[in-house]
């Protein structure tokens, strides 16, 4: 990665740490459920390794932080960038429904097979298996609704970063949210439909980095890998 690439604005996404429902495979959107001890340890470890001056998440380079207002995301953010020590002012932090988890509606708290049985008993999915990416959730959000709110957020981010594509000012953005919605965000960032069959894994407490190719706001991309900062 060239020095100029290192200055290109980035969007860093971070999934909240483990919860009991995530651990057991239950679909969790609006339900407020806290982190497990293992989840706290995941985020604390990530903070120690990746957050700080010259590290992957450098608080001095953050222009905005978008956090889901669900407690598991709020607690994750507080562990990842402790307010007292990170230096990220409250004026940069936005708690927003735009990056909350996909609203699962009637499927909240259910496991995958339970949802499929519920839909089968309701006379659905006779010709093909249920696919949340394309079919959405009964009583919850559709693919189009999720797309629209993510596109609003992406537009906001691009408008913030566009004037500084060559590092004239540090304008990295951090998102702290949930597994499915962040994978949807990646697809929309790349200009793909959220039902595009791009296989992705984003484990609890995982971090990933998006950016732009050739310092061009119209060429959003993702980092397959990042070279660690050189030690001086």
Q: What are the residue numbers of the active site? A: 16, 101
DSSP three-state, residue 47: helix
Q: Which two tokens stand for residue 115?
A: 């949802």
Question: Would the annotation count 103 as a binding residue?
Answer: yes
18 is in an annotated binding site: no
- Rounded-to-integer distance, Cα 211 and Cα 219, Å: 9
**Residue 232 known to bind ligand:** no
Tokens linked to 46: 């990530």
H helical segments located in the chain = 3-7, 20-24, 37-50, 71-80, 83-86, 112-121, 132-135, 143-161, 179-189
CA angle 3, 6, 10 (to 5 degrees): 160
> Is 189 annotated as a binding-site member?
no
Any known ligand binding at 72? yes
Which has the closest alpha carbon to 102: 186, 17, 13, 181? 181
CB atoms within 10 A of CB 58: 17
Binding residue numbers: 72, 101-104
Binding residue numbers for substrate: 72, 101-104
């Amino acid at each position: 990665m060239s020095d100029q690439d290192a200055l290109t604005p980035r969007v860093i996404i971070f999934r909240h740490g483990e919860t009991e429902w995530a651990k057991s495979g239950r679909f969790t959107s609006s339900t407020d459920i806290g982190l497990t001890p293992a989840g706290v340890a995941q985020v604390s470890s990530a903070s120690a390794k990746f957050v700080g001056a010259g590290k992957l998440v450098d608080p001095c380079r953050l222009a905005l932080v978008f956090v889901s207002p669900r407690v598991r995301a709020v607690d994750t953010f507080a562990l990842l960038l402790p307010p007292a020590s990170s230096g990220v002012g409250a004026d940069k932090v936005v708690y927003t429904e735009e990056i909350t988890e996909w609203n699962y509606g009637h499927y909240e708290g259910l496991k995958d097979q339970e949802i499929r049985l519920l839909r089968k008993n309701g006379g659905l999915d006779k010709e093909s298996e249920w696919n949340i990416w394309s079919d959405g959730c009964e009583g919850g959000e559709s693919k189009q609704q999720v797309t629209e709110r993510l596109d609003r957020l992406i537009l906001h981010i691009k408008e913030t970063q566009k004037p500084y594509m060559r590092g004239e000012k540090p304008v990295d953005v951090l998102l702290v949210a949930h597994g499915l919605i962040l994978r949807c965000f990646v697809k929309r960032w790349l200009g793909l439909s959220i039902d595009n069959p791009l296989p992705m894994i984003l484990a609890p407490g995982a971090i990933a980095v998006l950016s732009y190719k050739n310092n061009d706001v119209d060429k959003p991309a993702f980092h397959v890998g990042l070279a660690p900062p050189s030690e001086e």
